[in-house]
Chain A
Amino acid sequence: MRHLLLGIAAFLIVLKGYSQNSSTNSGGQVQTVQPKIMVIPYTKEGEDIRTILEEDVSRRIAVTKIKEAFDARGFTTVDFTAKLKAAKDNNVFTSDNQTDLKAQIIQMSGADVYVQAEVYVLRGQSGNEVKLILTAYEASTGNSLSNKVGESGKWYTEDIGKLASKAVEAVVEDFLNVMQTKFTDIVNNGKSVIVEISFDANSQQKMSSEIGPDGLPLSDQLEQWMEKNAYKNNYHIQGTTDVKMIFDDVRIPLKDQATWNNYNPNKFAL
């Protein structure tokens, strides 16, 4: 009897650990976790992203105008310059390679989506023009979410910032509408994740090893598991070797289909 009471007490202590704190109890309400979006300037190979924004006002204006458009849709973006400053202050950058530097900032910011703005200034006798290439990617998979080219038109002005602003205004609404279409597709058909399963080169087990009661190769067993667990049976195999199997597109739902709580890649891996 004493043992039983102790067991029940231990069980209740464990349960208490999982119960919701009364201070944060939302009464069962679930707010969908929104993607973190960061707007960044495009940099050519060898260009220092740290000095690009400081020196080039037209790029700064383009980035700010794009962020403004997100704000107008009631969506808060991650501030690139603030992240850049924080990274500089914390000496996060470990490499001199500028491409790596950009990747490091994206990784450090925790952004799910990044929007890249490429600004070209075309000067001519018939006026100056700014062309803008806007691209949105999913940071985890590299999937493209929206692409647009904006043009300011030719104007007799040296105010390149104003032209950059016009180029953004010409396409940003359309750009956001396409992004929203892709977001709706994610809500309906799941978020794309990459699943990579690999063995050590010296491992005794290979993808072709026959395992389990069926004696099926491991790669087939993995595919069967994915078939059952990918959201709406939606997955794609990039390739399989003896030591590696890559699923380059596995869809997982945004919400747990049983509890309706938020779902994420970590829960998929549980």
Chain B
Amino acid sequence: MKNIHFLFIIIPFLFSCQFVQGQKKTVTAEVNFLSESTGIITVRSIGYGKNKAEAIDNAEINAMDVLLFRGLPESTQKDPIIGINSDEIKSKNKEYFENFYGAKQYKTFIMSALPTTEDLIKNKGGKKSIAVDVKINVKALRLDLENKNIIRKFGF
């Protein structure tokens, strides 16, 4: 009888765990073009997190995601560097993106990330955010993607 009670508790718990795991992390497109010079793009990106460091990291990741999978209007990189279908591309090149985001390889393409405010801003629902000016070495990023065969080199 005790075992049945245990099962009643554990089964819904396992189902809820599976549901959470199945949900995909929501990324925002709150990334706006600021300026650019040869091979460098500067954007203002909004990042969310419990503390400042976490929010800055999130802003950097959002900036990278927009550049790679959405494109940046008003800049010369209007089209996404890799492609629009981010989920498919990430699962196809799992190893690269595990290293890129998981091992924070993306930071090697960020020349600077300067928060525009000292403290985090409290939003509706308790979410805390910060606006960060992120300067990205797009030329190096493109070369890395080409060398790892994520995108094709110029030409056939």
Contact = CB atoms under 8 A, between A and B. Distances in A.
7 contacts: A70-B154, A75-B154, A170-B76, A176-B154, A177-B77, A186-B156, A254-B156
Interface in A141-196: 169-174, 176-181, 183-184, 186-187
- Counting chain B CB atoms within 10 Å of each CB, the highest count among A70, A169, A177, A184 belongs to A177
B78 A174 contact: yes
B38 interface: yes
A177 B155 contact: no
Contacts of A172: 76
In this complex, the member of B76, B146, B152, B154 whose beta carbon has the largest number of chain A beta carbons within 10 angstroms is B154
B141 to A, nearest CB: 13
Given A180-B152, A180-B154, A72 B139 contact: yes
Contacts of B76: 170-174, 177
A184 B154 contact: no
Secondary structure at chain A's binding surface: helix, strand, loop or mixed? helix
A157 B77 CA distance: 29
Chain A interface residue count: which class? Answer: 20 to 34
A34 interface: yes
B57 interface: no
B152 A187 contact: yes
A181 B79 contact: yes
A35 B76 CA distance: 24
Given A169-B38, A173-B76, 17 more contacts: A34-B155, A72-B139, A73-B154, A75-B154, A75-B155, A173-B77, A174-B76, A174-B77, A177-B76, A177-B78, A179-B154, A180-B152, A183-B152, A183-B155, A184-B152, A186-B156, A254-B156
A47 B83 CA distance: 43
Contact of B153 (A74, A169, A173): A74
Given A72-B139, A169-B38, A183 B79 contact: no
